[in-house]
Amino acid sequence: MNIFNEQEQERIREAVAAAERSTSGEIRICVERTCKGPAMERAISYFNKLGMAKTKLRNGVLIYLSTEDHHFAIIGDMGIDKVVPPNFWDSTKEAMLTHFRKDELVAGLEKGIHLAGEQLKKYFPNLSDDVDELSNEIAYGEEN
């Protein structure tokens, strides 16, 4: 059973597609019900499992969310980390938290995806030969 219904999943997929239209960066969402360990460690684990380090410019971003534990993390690949300040994702996290605190998970993810796309296009604008390197589908964790 998925955490999101089909309409919610479509909203998230469309948010990813829209964000990626303005950047060569790649955005993925990974959701699971419970988090086994620190959220950042889970995000790193899924980042690797989903092959996110295989993008040409190493500019993939994973937004990880654990719905029952209320944990989330944002992780960017080394290409992003080389060019952005250390607190790069802080404002995105805060904007997402505003929605998460109101139990608006989809709206929070949409906001985070949009802001990630806005940030990525500053450093990784859309290229004329850009291809969608990673799936826009939501990745569900082990217990879903």
pLDDT in tens, 34-43: 999 999 999 9
- The three-class DSSP label of residue 12 is helix
Q: What is the pTM of this model?
A: 0.93
Amino acid 130: pLDDT: 67
| DSSP-assigned letter for residue 143 | T
- Whether residue 144 is predicted with pLDDT greater than 70 in this model: the reply is no
Domain ranges of the chain: 6-140
- DSSP per residue over 42-105, as a string? HHHHHHHHTTGGGSTTS-EEEEEEETTTTEEEEEE-HHHHTTS-TTTTHHHHHHHHHHHTTT-H
pLDDT in tens, 85-122: 878 889 999 999 999 999 999 999 999 999 999 999 99
- Whether residue 13 is predicted with pLDDT greater than 70 in this model: the reply is yes
| DSSP-assigned letter for residue 37 | S
> Which fold does the domain 6-140 belong to in CATH?
Diaminopimelate Epimerase; Chain A, domain 1 (3.10.310)
Amino acid 143: pLDDT: 59
Tell me the pLDDT of the chain averaged across its residues.
Answer: 91
Amino acid 135: pLDDT: 81
Residues 106 and 115: their CA atoms lie apart, in Å, by 14
Closest CA to 128 of 54, 58, 24: 24
| Distance from the Cα of residue 128 to its chain's centroid | 23
pLDDT in tens, 55-70: 889 999 999 999 999 9
Q: For the chain, what percent of residues have pLDDT higher than 70?
A: 97
